[in-house]
Amino acid sequence: MSNITFEDFQKLDIRMGTITKAEVPEWSHWVMKLTVDLGSELGKRTVFAGIMHFFEGKELEGKQSPFIVNIEPKNIGPKGDKSEGILLMATPKLSEPLIIEGEKVKEKPVLLIPQEKVANGTKVR
């Protein structure tokens, strides 16, 4: 692990958003497509996350979580869909690896949910 400067950290724009829709694209074997409400300043964005083997779409909808919103959009999948952010999650190590889609998975994603609801778009510091 390499260190970053405090100034590097300050470049990250982390905001709270509410997942309004979570679905698995027809072409996906790993990622879920999330529609995220990031408040009036940023609006709704699409974020892809490699979590489909751990969550059902319905259990994510309505949940708030932190997202990095100032990351360069990335093409995802064969149709040129763009991911416009990163969902931040904890990834604790599993005591026994899981085999998913032929891959050995050693961590399980855990949603970071605030103790109380905050306005969408609230900055995380």
**CATH number of the domain residue 91 falls in:** 2.40.50.140
**Containing H/E element for 48?**
strand 44-49
- Name the average pLDDT for the chain: 95
DSSP state of 9: H
Tokens (6 digits) for 95: 């005591």
> Distance between CA atoms of 55 and 46, rounded to whole angstroms?
17
Whether 28 is in a domain gets the answer yes
What percentage of the chain reaches a pLDDT higher than 70?
100
Task: Tell me what pLDDT residue 76 has.
Answer: 94
Q: What per-residue confidence (pLDDT) applies to 15?
A: 98
Residue 118, φ and ψ in degrees, nearest 5: -125, 165
pTM for this predicted structure: 0.92
Q: Is residue 15, in this structure, part of any structural domain at all?
A: yes
C-beta of residue 34 within 8 angstroms of C-beta of residue 51: no
Q: Count how many domains the chain has.
A: 1
Residue 121, in any domain of the structure: no
Range of the domain at 12: 6-111
Q: Give every CB contact of residue 2 below 8 A, 6+ residues apart in sequence.
A: none
Residue pLDDT, tens place only, 55-108: 999 999 999 999 999 999 999 988 889 999 999 999 999 999 999 888 899 999
Do the domain assignments include residue 31? yes
Report if residue 120 sits inside a domain. Answer: no
- Residue 40: inside a domain: yes
